[in-house]
Copies of this chain bind each other. A is one copy, B any other.
Amino acid sequence: MRVYLRYVMERHQQPGAAIEETLRVVGDRWSILLVRAGLRGIRRFDDFCDDLGIARPVLTERLRRLVKFGIFERVKYQDKPVRYEYRLTEAGLALSPALVALVRWSEEYSQEKSSDVILVHGPCGTELEQAFWCRSCQSTFGPHAVKGVSSSSGS
């Protein structure tokens, strides 16, 4: 079955608020990488630092901001010398669909291929594909069926 999508993307109030909102939070060079590291189980400051090669002052600032936006939480894991680590919140975990989409894209369209399996279906072990799902039609279709129909630009 062939389904085509219409991109509508209306601006309600602010110009293109929704994506900008998200990008205002994770739209810099490091935040998404931090989330990915978090998904891989990294939690400590120095580990983030070593794993990503991010500069320490920037890491400090970025983690603080991500905590502020509720993506990571700063948890004390030790008292003696008081130490904190950073854990993904539910909101942070909820970014995974975006990460998966990013990985999938690189697999399909990036010149330098790098097969980096990120998500598997628990029960059967197959790689997952990402799809669109229409609630009322109950149908699923992949990004390949996507077709851009530009609404004729107004003024």
Residues of A within 8 A of B (CB): 3-23, 25, 27-29, 32-33, 36-37, 39-43, 47, 51, 70, 88, 91, 93-110, 112, 114-124, 126-137, 140, 142-143, 146, 148, 150-153
Whether B130 and A136, one on each chain, are in contact in the complex, defined by CB atoms closer than 8 angstroms, is no
Complex interface: chain B residues within 8 A of A132 (CB): 97, 100, 119, 121, 128-131
Complex interface: chain B residues within 8 A of A122 (CB): 3-6
Complex interface: chain B residues within 8 A of A99 (CB): 19
Contact status of A8 and B114, CB under 8 A, knowing A93-B146, A109-B91, A142-B133: no
Contact status of A19 and B36, CB under 8 A, knowing A102-B98, A148-B88: yes
Q: A3-B122, A19-B106, A93-B146 are in contact. List 4 more A-B contacts (CB 8 A).
A: A18-B114, A41-B151, A91-B109, A121-B134
